[in-house]
Amino acid sequence: MTDIARLINSIKRRTSSARELGYDVLFVALDDLDVLADSLETALRANAAQAAHIEQLQDKFNKLAAENVALKRVPETDSVAMLLALDSFRSEPLPDVGLQKAFESLMYHRMTPATDAYLAGIKADGVEEWVSSRDGRWNGTTEEALNFAKQLREGGKV
């Protein structure tokens, strides 16, 4: 049990005893109050950091959800993407090949920056995990690998 947990239990026991005796006041040592205040401040900072992280994750989630909605949307019949797809279809004498080219034309025009960033992050995590698993036994430089991971995470072409 941590010191702060012992202190909290002690205060709870003393509070309970004081109430049983009919007291509505409990005296606590200033040092104990300092420990409690420090612990609360530490917890508050950790909570704020977690809240910021959750907000970032929510933003990423919202972007991914918006991309998924866009991917499910069928292009309008008079949209540029559909017209390019139809041109691809009509330019082929074989319907199957034309259909495949039309489909590829529609799919390649879809932009997914949030998904691309997420996948780049996964790749970067993999590089960082590999570096940490080597425990300094890698023949290359760790710095190069970490720079590579950073480039992946930032979406730069490597």
Do 28 and 56 belong together in one domain? yes
- Are 67 and 7 part of one and the same domain? yes
Range of the domain at 92: 74-110
| Closest of 149, 154, 155 to residue 132, by C-alpha | 149
Q: For 75-112, give the DSSP string.
A: PPTTSHHHHHHHHHHHT-SSHHHHHHHHHHHHHHT---
- DSSP letter assigned to residue 134: T
**How many domains does one find in the chain?**
3
**Which pLDDT tens digits describe the chain residue by residue (158 residues)?**
678 888 888 889 999 999 999 998 888 888 888 888 899 899 999 999 999 999 999 998 888 888 887 776 666 666 776 777 777 767 777 767 767 777 777 677 677 888 888 888 888 888 888 788 777 676 667 778 888 888 888 875 55
Residues 9 and 69 reside in one and the same domain: yes
My answer on whether 3 and 68 are in the same domain is yes
Residue 87 shares a structural domain with residue 137 = no
| Residues 88 and 101 sit within 8 Å (Cβ to Cβ) | yes
Global pTM value? 0.47
